[in-house]
Structure 1
Amino acid sequence: MEGLIANLALGFGVALSFQNILYCLGGVLLGTLIGVLPGIGPVATIAMLLPVTFTLPPVSALIMLAGIYYGAQYGGSTTAILVNLPGEVSSVVTCLDGYQMARQGRAGPALGISAIGSFIAGCVATVVIALFAPPLAEVALKFGPAEYFSLMVLGLVGATVLAHGSLVKAIAMVLLGLLLGLVGTDVNSGVARFNFSIPELSDGIGFVGVAMGVFGFGEIILNLETQAKGGPREIFTKKVSNLLPSLQDFKDCAGSIARGTVLGCALGILPGGGALLASFAAYTLEKKVSKNQANFGKGAIQGVAAPESANNAGAQASFIPLLTLGIPSNPVMALMIGAMMIQGIAPGPQVMTERAELFWGMIASMWVGNLMLVVLNLPMIGLWIKLLTVPYRYLYPAIIVFMCVGIYSLSNSPWDVMMTAMWGIGGYIFARLECEPAPLMLGFILGPLMEENLRRAMLLSRGDPIVFFTRPISAGMLAVAALLLLIVLAPAIRQKREEAFVAD
C-alpha cells in the first residue's frame, strides 16, 4: 500500500504540472466536442492528431490523447439525448430513454445523471487501473514469445466473440485484418510480399489511413446518407433546464450506476469489449433487474444512467491491457500504441518500471480529467446545443479538410490521402453490410505482432510447435480461446450473445 501511495504521489506530481493540466483540459474538451458531433469519433480524431504528437513531450501527448477518448464518452450522451443520434457509437443505447426524457421535458436531469454517472464510473475505473495494473504488469514481465502469441490469439478470439452482430461477419473481419497486416515486407527475409509491385505498399498499409478512413470518412458518408433520408432532426434546445437530478432520481439510479460501473470495468479490459459492449450489457441488465421493465424505452432514467456509467468505465478500463501488456483492446488503444512508438516508447510491462512517471502520470490524469469533465460540461451544455444547430453540410466539409491535412502531414504523400478515401468507401460498405470494423482493426494491428512472436517462438524451439502447449501460461490461454469459440458456437449461447446487443 505504501508503494501504491508513493506511485500515485509521483503520478499526481506529473499530472498536476501546469503544462499537463493544459493538455488534459484540451484533450477532454476536444473529446467532448467530437463526442457531440456525430460521425467523427475518437478514432479518427486521435489518428488525425498523431502527427502533432511528434513535437510534444511523451507524457503530455498521451495525457491529451487519453482525455480525447474518455471525453468523447461524455460528449456522445449530449447528442443521444437531445437529437436521438449517438455522437459516439457507445452512446447508441442512451438514445432509447434519453431522447424520450427530452421529449417529456426532462432533458436536464438526463444530461445531469449522465455526467454524474460517467464521473463516478470514471473515478472507480481509475482506481481499478491503479490497483490491478501493477501486479498484471509484473506477471507480463515473465512472458516470452510463446505467451505473447497465445495472448494475441486469445485477444482476437475475444474480439470475435464480443463483437456486435453476426459471429460469422466478425470472424471474416478479423481474417481480413490479419491478411491486411501481412502486406509489406517479410520480417525475417526482408522480401516484399503482397504489395502488387506498388512501392508505397513496401512498408505495409498505413494504420492511420485505415483508421481515419473507416471510422472517420466512412461514418461521415453514412451520417450524410441517414440525414438525407431522415430529414431535419428535432433538437430540444428550449427544454434543457434543472440539470441537477432530483433526490428521487439519485435514489432510482444509484444501483444502475453501480452495476454499470462494475460491468464497464470488467468488460473494458477484454479485447473487443470496451465501451460499446459495456453500454449494451448494462442496459440489458437494467431491463432484467428492473421492476418496471415496461418503462424502458419510454424515458426511464435508469436507461440513461447505466449505459453512460458503463461506457465511461469501459473506456478507461481498456487502458489496463495497453499499459500492462502492450496489447490494444480496441482501435483507440491501437492508436495509443502508435503514439507511444512515435515517442520511442516500447509498449508493454516495462513501461511501468522504465517510465514510471508516464505510467502513473496517465493514471492520475484520468482523475483530473474526469473532474474537469463534470465541472465544465454541465455549464457548457448551452454551447454544445448551439453547435448541434449548425447544419452538418457546413461542418463536415471542414472536418474532411482537417482530416486530409492530418493524413497528408504523416509522410507528405498524396498516396496516404487516396488510401484514406478508399478506406472511407470501405468503411461505408462495412456499415451498410452491418460488419463491425473493430475486429478488422484489431486483426490488422495484432497480425504483424502475432507473426513476429510466432516466428521468434519457433526459432527458439528449433521449429517445434509443441512449445505453445508445453509452457503452462501459453497452453492455458490457447485452451481458453478454444473453449470460448466452442461455447459461442453452441446455438443457445449464440442466441444469448445476439440478445445482449438487442435493446428493444
Structure 2
Amino acid sequence: MAVLAKLASVEVLLMLLLGVVGGIFLGALPGLSATMGIALMIPLTFGMDAVAAMVLLGAIYCAAVYGGSITAILIHTPGTPSSAATALDGYQMTLRGEGLKALGTSTVCSVIGGLVSVVALLLLAPPLAQISLKFSAPEYFLMAIFGLTIIGSLSSGAMAKGLASGLLGLLISLVGVDIMTAFPRFTFGLPDLDNGISLIPAMIGLFSISQVMVQAEKIHALNQSSTMAALQGPLFPSWAEWRGMWRTIPRSSAIGVLVGILPGAGGDVASWVAYNEARRNSKRQDNFGKGEVEGLAAAETSNNAVTGGAMIPLLTLGIPGSAATAVMLGGLYIHGLQPGHELFTVNAHIVYAVIVGLFLANILMGIVGLSLARQVVKVSMIPFAILAPIIVVLSVVGAYTINNSMFDVYVMAAFGLLGYLMRKTGFSTAAVVLAMILGSMAELGFRQSLVMSKGNLLSYYLERPFSILLLALIVLSLLSPVLVAWRKRRAAKREALVAN
C-alpha cells in the first residue's frame, strides 16, 4: 500500500508523464541521448521527493531508447546508438510505403521488451546480479569477440566488404591514449583525439550526413509517391507476421536483459546481437536489411529490454549497466539512496515504487507512441529539400552538445563523407559502428587477460566456465554461415534431382 500511495501522488504522475513525453522527443533528436537527458534533469530533481525524481529519470531512460527508433525508421537517422540496427529494416519499410507499420511494430516491441526487463528487475535482480560479478576481463574480451562475429552478416551478399568495414572500425577504436601505457596513439598531436573518436558524432556522420548526401544526388528525381504511400495501410503487422515473430520477440527480450546486466555493453550491443540471432534463425534471411519486419522487431525489443536489465546491477550492487544508469547512480546518491541490500530493505518502499513506476512508464510510452504514430509519420511527407537542412542542423547541434566542442562537429563531417563513400561502394557503415563500440572493450579485456593469466592465456580461459560458454558461442557463430551455405547447396541439389 505504501508503494501505491507513493505512486498515486500528483508529483509522481506528472513526472512520469513528463519523463515519457520528454524522453521520446529527446531520443528522436540525433545525438541527444538518454544519458544527456538524465544528466540535464538531475539538477532539477534536488528539491523533489526521491520516488518522483527516480521515476522521472527512469521514464526518460526508457522513452529515449524507444524515441531513437522514430527518426531511424522515417529518415534513416538513428536518434540513439541503440537504434542503428533499427534503421536497417525500418527505413526500408518506410521507402516501400510501410512507415506506419514500422512505427507500430517498433512501439509494440519496445513496450514488450521494456515490460519484460522491468519484470526481470523486480523478480530476478539479486540472483542475476551475482552472475555479473563472475564476469571479469576474459569474459568481456570474449563477449566483444562474439559481438564482432556478427560483422560478417551486416553486409548481406558482401561478406568481404563487411569484414573490411569492421576492420576499419577496429582501427578507429585504437585512436586515443593507450589504455595501459597512457601513450597517445594515432592522435597526430591533436589533444582532442586523446580520448579517441567520440562515438555519437561519428555515428551521426555515418548514418545521417551520409544519407543526406546520397539523397541530395537524386533530389530532382525524388517525388512524394513513396512518402504519401507511407501514410497508407495498417498501423500493425498482420496476424501472420506476428506469428512469424513469436520466437524472435521472447529471444530478443532475453538477450536484451542479459546484455543489460553486463556493465558497459548497452542497448547498441544488444540490438546487434538480437538482430543477428533473428536473421540466423529466420526463414527469410535474405530479406534482412531490405525491410524485414522481424529484423525491426528483434532490434527494438532487445534495446528496450536492456533498460531494466541495466538497472539490476545498479540497484543491487551499485554497478551501472550502461552510461545512462551510471548517471542515474549519481541521482541515487543525491537522494541519499545507497545501492545494495539496504535499498531493498530499509528503503524498500522507495525502490519498489520506482520499479512499478518504470512498469507504468513503459505502458504509457506505448500509449503515447501509438497515439502519435499517425502524426509522426507525416515527417516522411516533408519534401527532402526542406528535410535535408533540418537533419543537418539537428546533426550539428547533436554532435556539438556531446562535449560542447566544434571538434566533434568536424568529426561528424569527416565521418559523413566517409559514410557517403562507403555507401557508394557497397561497404557497411553499420559494421564500422559496431566495431568502434566493441573494439575498445575487446582490447582492454584482452590486455588485462594477458596480465591475469601470466602468459598462459588459453588454459586460463579454459579454467573459467563462463569463458568456455562464450568460446562455444563464438565457434557456433563463426560456423553458422558455413552451415547455412551447406544447407542451401544441399537443398539446391535436392531440387535439381527432383526436377530431373
Q: Retained in 1: the 8 A contact 2:16–2:59?
A: yes
For the pair 1:160 / 2:151, whether they are aligned, the reply is yes
Task: Name the SS for the 2:196 alignment partner.
Answer: coil
Q: Retained in 1: the 8 A contact 2:201–2:408?
A: yes
Distance 1:96-1:407 versus aligned 2 partners, 3 A rule: closer
For the pair 1:313 / 2:301, whether they are aligned, the reply is yes
For the pair 1:64 / 2:60, whether they are aligned, the reply is yes
Q: 1:176 aligns with which of 148, 161, 168?
A: 168
Q: 1:388 aligns with which of 380, 397, 409?
A: 380
Distance in structure 1 (CA, Å) of the matches to 2:159 and 2:122: 34
2:19 partner letter: Y
Query: Any gaps of 5 or more consecutive residues in structure 1?
Result: 35-41, 81-85, 289-296, 298-302, 327-335, 500-504
1:131-175 CA-partner distances (Å, limit 9, x unpaired)? 666544321202232232223222322x32553423333332332
Q: Retained in 1: the 8 A contact 2:115–2:362?
A: yes
For the pair 1:91 / 2:118, whether they are aligned, the reply is no
Distance in structure 2 (CA, Å) of the matches to 1:90 and 1:9: 43
Q: 2:410 aligns with which of 412, 418, 428?
A: 418
1:320-354 CA-partner distances (Å, limit 9, x unpaired)? 7755689xxxxxxxxx9444456677xxxx98879
2:41 partner letter: L
Matches within 5 A, 1:267-416: 271=269, 273=272, 276-277=275-276, 284=283, 309-319=297-307, 337-341=322-326, 367-416=359-408
Q: Retained in 2: the 8 A contact 1:147–1:474?
A: yes
Query: Any gaps of 5 or more consecutive residues in structure 2?
Result: 43-52, 77-84, 260-268, 315-320, 331-337, 492-500
Number of the residue aligned with 1:150: 142
Distance 1:417-1:477 versus aligned 2 partners, 3 A rule: same
The Cα of 1:312 is off from its aligned counterpart by 3.4
The Cα of 1:278 is off from its aligned counterpart by 6.9
Question: Taking structure 1 as the reference length, what is the TM-score of the superposition?
Answer: 0.67
The Cα of 1:125 is off from its aligned counterpart by 6.0
Range with greater deviation from structure 2 (133-142 or 273-282)? 273-282
For the pair 1:54 / 2:39, whether they are aligned, the reply is yes
Distance 1:360-1:195 versus aligned 2 partners, 3 A rule: farther
Range with greater deviation from structure 2 (87-96 or 144-153)? 87-96
The Cα of 1:427 is off from its aligned counterpart by 1.9
Question: Taking structure 2 as the reference length, what is the TM-score of the superposition?
Answer: 0.68
Distance 1:207-1:75 versus aligned 2 partners, 3 A rule: closer
Number of the residue aligned with 1:262: 250
Q: Retained in 2: the 8 A contact 1:163–1:170?
A: yes
Number of the residue aligned with 1:441: 433
The Cα of 1:223 is off from its aligned counterpart by 3.7
1:27 partner letter: G
Number of the residue aligned with 1:210: 202
Number of the residue aligned with 2:461: 469
Matches within 5 A, 1:204-243: 204-225=196-217, 227-236=219-228
The Cα of 1:444 is off from its aligned counterpart by 1.8
Root-mean-square deviation over aligned CA pairs: 5.1
Distance in structure 2 (CA, Å) of the matches to 1:273 and 1:431: 19
2:213 partner letter: I
Q: Retained in 2: the 8 A contact 1:70–1:316?
A: yes
Distance in structure 2 (CA, Å) of the matches to 1:175 and 1:325: 32
Number of the residue aligned with 2:79: none
Task: Name the SS for the 1:463 alignment partner.
Answer: coil
Q: Retained in 1: the 8 A contact 2:138–2:461?
A: no
The Cα of 1:421 is off from its aligned counterpart by 0.4
1:82-131 CA-partner distances (Å, limit 9, x unpaired)? xxxx99434256459864xx9xxxx8x99878765765565456546656
Task: Name the SS for the 1:380 alignment partner.
Answer: helix
Distance in structure 1 (CA, Å) of the matches to 2:132 and 2:449: 16
Number of the residue aligned with 1:25: 21
Q: Retained in 2: the 8 A contact 1:469–1:475?
A: yes
For the pair 1:427 / 2:419, whether they are aligned, the reply is yes
Distance 1:412-1:136 versus aligned 2 partners, 3 A rule: same
Identity %: 23
Distance in structure 2 (CA, Å) of the matches to 1:238 and 1:451: 44
Q: Retained in 2: the 8 A contact 1:266–1:314?
A: yes
The Cα of 1:406 is off from its aligned counterpart by 3.2
Distance 1:276-1:266 versus aligned 2 partners, 3 A rule: same
1:23 partner letter: G
Q: Retained in 2: the 8 A contact 1:128–1:317?
A: no
